[in-house]
Chains A and B, each alone.
Chain A
Amino acid sequence: MKSNNFKYSFFSAELTLSLIVSLLTISVLSSSCSKNSAAPAAAAPTTNSGASCTGSAANFTGTSYSPITTPTPSGYNQMTVNVDLDTGSIPSGGVSCGNYANEVCVSVTVCALDGVTCKTIPNILLDTGSYGLRVFDNLLPSGLTPISSGGSTLSECVLFGDGSSEFGPVEYAYVQLGGEPMVAVPILAINSTYGTPPAACTNSQSSPDISPTQAGFNGILGVGLWAQDCGNGLYNSSSDGTADCTTDSANGQYFTCTGGNCGCGATVAMQAQVKNPVASLPSDNNGVILDFSSTNPGATGATNATGTLYLGIDTQANNASTGFTAMPADPGASEFFTKFNAYSSSTYIPAFIDSGSSIFFMPTVSGLTDCSVSHGSGWSGIFCPGSNTAESAVLWDVNLGASQSVSFHIGNGYSLFNSASNVFNNLGALSGTGAGAYFDWGLPFFFGRKVIVGIKGVNDTGGALGEGPYWAL
């Protein structure tokens, strides 16, 4: 709980006073903007910072569109999921699935709002650690609908845990998952040259991802615990500690683009925020089940693997939750806890389950030698134990109610990465140290089991898992 405490204290009486203070400060500053902008620019000319935003922040309200119902064949609520194996023929400008180890891919059909100008895009990273669909602009069908306000369009910069980022315009598209009805949702058309990105994006590491070749995927389908990728700062009626993108233009995520300059923060109504398309489905909308129960790469890895993504939980015969235990997550950070048995055994460390992380990111313990010891500093952080090492941990829900024991192995990362295999259940690397320790249960965790992802604020009405956000095992 320690690491999440600050989130719950955001909206305190102290903050109310601070807001008043802030307003006072703004009024003092307002007359000085021209002076500041006339001074020699402190920032590099190719970046924007909030301070250089001189226009008024736009508010994007968006529009609502109805689903397009298509014939629903048997098993229409499931999608094939491949690891390091193409999910379709590669379009021009796109990449294969398997640019790196443990890359998990699906195909998604994206259409313009006419419902007929469509493209099916293969090799999109399936990511339970993010929310919403993001596809490189050059692979999308033409004629998607930008979200605009006055003369400005809406753009987004999203950051991932590894410091990488995606930038581009937010546009409405019809999205089809498996054989489900097509639903209109805002998606991110990844395009690093769409205007001048905000500094939050360009200075996070080097620059936003520029192409499928550089990123290693054609897009990312985020089917994690949230229905949209920002929200309104509320879980039911109380604060969840996350940003309120509907009223706060300093959310650091959404930006208004005017004349090619995307430096000003934007407020965005819920229906205009990039949305987890699962949450928009007419009926199978309470979460997903990712099933790799028949995959076992063993100690030396496998060439590729295939699994199934079921849309909805307890909504159909094929997505029953019988026998699963719900493990609620914190509605703000969307994390729960892990006790890693060999590591400071009295400590509950923050944890999450993320198919988009290709390996386990975790604290180090005795026996997990760092690869840099034998293979140079470039391999720093990756574990290279002498043999395939057995480890164990206990997952705990955020309220320390339900728990589940997990056994796993960590193998020699240098040998595995340099082998002919691509699919591994035993790759690990160092997460934060000391008070920054965390456990990211990456794709290796999914092999040999089914994992249920319950979306925040939605009930498992047909079953016993309760209200999301939760993972169930």
Chain B
Amino acid sequence: MVYFIILFQIFSSANLDFLPRAQASLGDDSSTVEADRRVLRGTRVAVVTHAKFAVHEIRSGGMSLKEYAASNGKIFAVTWTGTHQPDLSSIFGTYFEDFSQANQAAVKVKGVRSHARIEGKKVTVERFGHMGSIRGKAFVQSLLPQGVSLDEIK
């Protein structure tokens, strides 16, 4: 598996030079995970395959980013945990605007500086933690493979 990753990285890095800069993930094919790794300047670990999805993980400077790909290759969820948060515009891709609009529309109640859970029209985002241990989860309900529970997205 490790050798596969080495070959994959060299191959894709060389080829991406001739392609538009792809940085999106949610809703895209799992082949875009490599673009995220480049943006994060991180390292990849072996893909963990489950019955109905595969988890692609990137580690970068105290942060772990996991991208959940359905059997058709489409990424339906991402999670992050660690000392900081990935650039959400990059990780959410075309769903970032949906998230931004829902985030801005959320009513700010005094005493709660931001909602921990943001529900867009398509994407749902949960964030929590404290300095040094920030976590988050984002998923697109319509892309969730049948039979996969939200509890399986960790």
Q: Do A and B bind each other?
A: yes
Interface residues of B in 94-127 (CB under 8 A from A): 96, 100, 103-104, 106-107, 109-117, 119, 126-127
For B9, the chain A residues whose CB sits under 8 A away are 21, 24-25
CB nearest to A98 among chain B residues: B110
A359/B112 contact (C-beta < 8 A), A42-B21, A352-B130, A432-B126 known: yes
A131/B135 contact (C-beta < 8 A), A248-B61, A382-B112 known: no
Q: Interface digits, A239-266 against B, CB 8 Å rule (1 contact, 0 not)?
A: 0011110001011110000000000010
For B103, the chain A residues whose CB sits under 8 A away are 163, 205-206
Contact in complex: B90, A358 (CB < 8 Å): no
Contact in complex: B62, A233 (CB < 8 Å): yes
A162/B21 contact (C-beta < 8 A), A50-B39, A50-B40, A51-B38 known: no
Contact in complex: B137, A158 (CB < 8 Å): no
CB nearest to A200 among chain B residues: B87
What's the least CB distance linking B113 to chain A, in Å? 5
Identify the stretch in B12-20, B25-33, B68-76 within 8 Å (CB) of chain A at 4 or more residues: B12-20
For B116, the chain A residues whose CB sits under 8 A away are 161-162, 361, 381, 429-432
Classify the secondary structure of B's interface with A. Answer: mixed
B47 contacts partner chain A, Cβ-Cβ < 8 Å: no
For A328, the chain B residues whose CB sits under 8 A away are none
A203/B87 contact (C-beta < 8 A), A28-B10, A36-B17 known: yes
CB nearest to A216 among chain B residues: B113
Contact in complex: B131, A241 (CB < 8 Å): no
Contact in complex: B17, A160 (CB < 8 Å): no
Choose from A216, A250, A417 the contact partner of B41 (Cβ within 8 Å): A250
A365 contacts partner chain B, Cβ-Cβ < 8 Å: no
Q: How many residue pairs, one in A and one in B, have C-beta atoms under 8 Å apart?
A: 243
Contact in complex: A436, B135 (CB < 8 Å): yes
Contact in complex: B13, A21 (CB < 8 Å): no
Rounded to whole angstroms, the CA-CA distance of A203 and B43 in the bound complex is 22
CB nearest to A372 among chain B residues: B107
CB nearest to A222 among chain B residues: B131
CB nearest to B58 among chain A residues: A18
A230 contacts partner chain B, Cβ-Cβ < 8 Å: yes
Contact in complex: A431, B128 (CB < 8 Å): yes
A213 contacts partner chain B, Cβ-Cβ < 8 Å: no
CB nearest to B104 among chain A residues: A206
A440 contacts partner chain B, Cβ-Cβ < 8 Å: yes
Contact in complex: B43, A21 (CB < 8 Å): yes
A19 contacts partner chain B, Cβ-Cβ < 8 Å: yes
Choose from A36, A130, A251 the contact partner of B84 (Cβ within 8 Å): A251
For A379, the chain B residues whose CB sits under 8 A away are 107, 109
CB nearest to B62 among chain A residues: A243
Which of the listed residues A224, A230, A265, A333 has the most CB atoms from chain B within 10 Å of its own CB?
A333
Contact in complex: A358, B111 (CB < 8 Å): yes
Rounded to whole angstroms, the CA-CA distance of A376 and B113 in the bound complex is 18
For A433, the chain B residues whose CB sits under 8 A away are 117, 126, 150
Rounded to whole angstroms, the CA-CA distance of A3 and B81 in the bound complex is 9
Contact in complex: B64, A378 (CB < 8 Å): no
A114 contacts partner chain B, Cβ-Cβ < 8 Å: no
Contact in complex: A333, B88 (CB < 8 Å): no
B42 contacts partner chain A, Cβ-Cβ < 8 Å: yes
Q: Interface digits, A310-335 against B, CB 8 Å rule (1 contact, 0 not)?
A: 00000000000000000000001111
Extra 17 A-B pairs, beta carbons < 8 Å, given A39-B20, A438-B129: A14-B46, A18-B45, A29-B38, A35-B17, A50-B41, A51-B39, A158-B131, A160-B113, A161-B131, A162-B112, A199-B87, A216-B113, A250-B41, A252-B60, A334-B130, A378-B107, A378-B109
